[in-house]
């Protein structure tokens, strides 16, 4: 929801980045304030996932220009774990499996690590068990998932629920959901979206990266951005997503090109 005079969580200016020498982001601008839900849409290869990984601090991407401020701090001064502790959360498109590490132990370690860095209380195993079970209800997850290895043998939907469970526990200021709807059937999509909606509040912000409009029926964005060739070329409200669904992406690019030619 858009709140008047809300604080800026994320301010991206002229971001350029490359991977293995190939430029992917070419001057991206974005401002996200507390309470807002943003959707970044765009065709495959437009740089959406690159952008979300750069925000989380993936080392494979080289930032070649521009700035990103998170809550007034230079994001690029922070290691990935420091960003997480400060409140950046990335829900992965493809969450990794960690056979041999029990989910409950993993969740408790990450929770307590982040709590410690926020000068908050850690939870012992019993307290944590109560806490995490409560959060799992939000995502209609069976407690059985606590005793299994992290994401191992989870279905696509179960992995995504486990991601949002981590989001619920780590209480981020900025949650980036990278293609969270991919691989979900309609029931799983509803559950995941419902979880996200309950976590959205006036003190945090959500950036959804998605190829399809489908997710936006469930998590309604305040802003919809269209990304193409490494830049945001159009911003609108939720109606824009419906238009994109009906007409595809090509017209946005054409419109943008025409506008820039007219300006020249």
Contact residues: other proteins, CB under 8 A: 56-60, 79-81, 83-85, 89-90, 92, 95-96, 98-101, 106, 109-110, 113-114, 117, 149, 166, 170
Nearest residue to 177 via CA among 15, 10, 48, 61 = 48
Strands in 223-228's sheet, in edge-to-edge order, are 88-91, 174-178, 205-210, 37-41, 223-228, 231-236
Shortest distance, CB of residue 51 to other proteins, whole angstroms?
15
Q: Which is nearer to other proteins, 111 or 249 (CB)?
A: 111
* Residues contacting 165, CB < 8 A, separation 6+: 107, 132, 135, 136, 138, 139, 141, 195
Q: How far is the CB of 58 from other proteins (least distance, A)?
A: 6
- Shortest distance in whole angstroms from residue 123 CB to other proteins: 15
How far is 227 from 233, CA to CA, in rounded Å?
A: 6
149 bridge partner residues: 102
CB of 65 to other proteins, least distance (A): 23
Tokens coding 224: 């919809």
Smaller CB separation from other proteins, 91 or 232: 91
Q: Which is nearer to other proteins, 85 or 211 (CB)?
A: 85
Minimum distance of other proteins from residue 168's CB (angstroms): 13
For 115-123, the CB contacts below 8 A with 24+ separation are 117/85, 118/85
**Whole-number minimum distance, CB 87 to other proteins, in Å?**
10
The packing angle between helices 125-138 and 156-170, to 10°, is 120
Shortest Å distance, C-beta 59 to other proteins: 7
d(CA 119, CA 122): 9
> Smaller CB distance to other proteins: residue 149 or 194?
149
Cα–Cα dist 243/83, whole Å = 35
Contact 218, 189 (CB under 8 A): yes
User: In terms of CB distance, is 56 or 229 closer to other proteins?
Assistant: 56
In sequence order, what are the residues at sequence separation of 6 or more whose Cβ sits closer than 8 angstroms to the Cβ of residue 251?
A: none
Which residue's CB is nearer to other proteins, number 158 or number 222? 158
**Beta carbon nearer to other proteins, 121 or 255:** 121
């Amino acid at each position: 929801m858009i709140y008047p005079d809300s604080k800026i969580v994320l301010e991206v200016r002229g971001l350029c980045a490359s991977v293995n020498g190939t430029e992917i982001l070419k001057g991206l601008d974005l401002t996200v304030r507390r309470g807002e839900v943003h959707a970044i849409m765009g065709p495959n290869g437009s740089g959406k996932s690159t952008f979300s990984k750069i925000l989380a601090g993936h080392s494979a991407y080289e930032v070649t220009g521009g700035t990103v401020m998170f809550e007034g701090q230079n994001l690029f001064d922070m290691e990935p774990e420091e960003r997480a502790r400060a409140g950046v959360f990335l829900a992965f498109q493809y969450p990794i499996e960690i056979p041999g590490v029990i989910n409950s132990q993993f969740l408790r370690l990450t929770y307590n690590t982040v709590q410690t860095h926020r000068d908050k209380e850690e939870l012992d195993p019993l307290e944590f068990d109560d806490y995490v079970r409560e959060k799992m209800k939000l995502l209609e997850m069976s407690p059985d998932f606590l005793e299994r290895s992290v994401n191992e043998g989870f279905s696509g939907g179960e992995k995504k629920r486990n991601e949002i469970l981590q989001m619920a526990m780590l209480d981020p200021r900025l949650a980036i959901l990278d293609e969270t709807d991919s691989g979900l059937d309609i029931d799983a999509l509803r559950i995941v979206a419902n979880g996200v909606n309950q976590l959205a509040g006036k003190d945090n912000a959500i950036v959804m990266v998605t190829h399809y409009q489908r997710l936006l029926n469930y998590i309604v964005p305040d802003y919809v951005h269209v990304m193409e060739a490494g830049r945001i070329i159009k911003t609108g409200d939720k109606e824009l997503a419906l238009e994109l669904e009906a007409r595809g992406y090509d017209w946005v690019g054409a419109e943008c090109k025409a506008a820039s030619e007219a300006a020249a």
